[in-house]
Amino acid sequence: MNFVRSAAAASSILAIVSCASVARASISGSFDIAGTVIVTNTTIDWLGIVGPPPFTPDKATIGAVSGSFGGLAGTQVTIRDLNNVTEPVGTFPAQPFVTFDAGPGLGTLLINDVFAGIYSPAGCIAAPPAVGQNCTPPVPGGSPINFVNNPPAPPGGPQATATFAFSGITSDGGTWVANFTSQFGVPFQTVLAQLAATGSVSNTYSATFTVTAAPVPEPGTFLPLFLGLGLVALFYSRRKARV
């Protein structure tokens, strides 16, 4: 009987030690999304691109994937609209941003940083439009948008690319960064003129999210504690065996 109890206690210790050396890894990898974006001076709203218009609000379609996101290509995410009150340019308290419709177990990506645009607002009024011009719109509180006028040159005139970047944390302790791109068939001066005239601009976009897993604690960090608990269990098991 003593042998049986001791063997059981020893097995408990081994199980505890094994648990100490195995930790659940947080999500990691990358995924692309695509959809439609509506931008004003104070908000960014997202629309899906599945089916005929009107598109579904707060949706985007996943494209290429890697790592934890394998198998999600072609499915959708729910992506939360942003405004410069709760998600201003710069760092702010984390807010829910992206969830995975076909992978709820992957948790939530929370946004806590909107990177400021890197160009001078003075470029926004450059005339006439030309290839190589760049601009970050002069929005109160800052803008995340980076406009660049790209080839081809006249007679078609330059066409603009808008880029912007966000970052944040995952609900399981990791981090992520995302780079967004929207391409226009006209110069950014035309895009900004539309924004001034109507209050908003709508266009398709694509984005790549790169997710980094949370650091996994070294097994030795918790090993002494678990060994101590195991020895206590062994002591009481042997004590009961003698009673």
The secondary structure of 181-203 as a DSSP string is EEE-SS-HHHHHHHHHHHS-EEE
> Within this chain, do residues 91 and 75 fall inside the same structural domain, yes or no?
yes
- Residue 242: predicted pLDDT: 52
Q: Tokens 């009987």 appear where?
A: 1
- Does residue 196 sit in the same domain as residue 234? no
Residue 24 has pLDDT above 80, yes or no: no
> What integer pLDDT is reported at residue 219 of this predicted model?
58
Both 135 and 182 in one domain: the answer is yes
Q: How many domains does the structure of the chain reveal? A: 2
Q: What is the pLDDT of residue 96?
A: 98
What predicted TM-score, i.e. pTM, was given to this entire model?
Answer: 0.81
Phi-psi region of 142 (alpha: psi -120 to 50; beta: other; left: phi over 0): left
Judge if 64 and 157 occupy the same domain.
Answer: yes
On whether both 74 and 10 belong to a single domain, the answer is no
The answer to whether residues 37 and 15 belong to one domain is: no
Residue 68 belongs to domain spanning:
29-212
As a whole number, mean pLDDT of residues 202-220 equals 88
Domain match, 108 and 89 both: yes
Q: What is the pLDDT of residue 226?
A: 42
Task: Choose among 169, 214, 210, 172: nearest CA to 64.
Answer: 210
Whether residue 199 sits in one domain with residue 83: yes
- How far lies 96's CA from each of 1, 64, 203, 206, 212, in Å? 56, 23, 24, 20, 17
Task: Look up tokens 């790169």; give the residue.
Answer: 210
Q: Is 144 within 8 Å of 165 (Cβ atoms)?
A: yes
Question: Residue 128: pLDDT above 90?
Answer: yes
Question: Is residue 56 located within the same domain as residue 6?
Answer: no
Report residue 225's pLDDT band, with 50, 70 and 90 as the boundaries. very low
Are 227 and 183 within one domain? Answer: no
- Are 7 and 60 part of one and the same domain? no
Same structural domain, 203 and 171: yes
156, pLDDT greater than 60: yes
Instruction: Give me the pLDDT at residue 7, please.
Output: 41
Using a pLDDT cut of 70, give the percent of the chain over it.
78
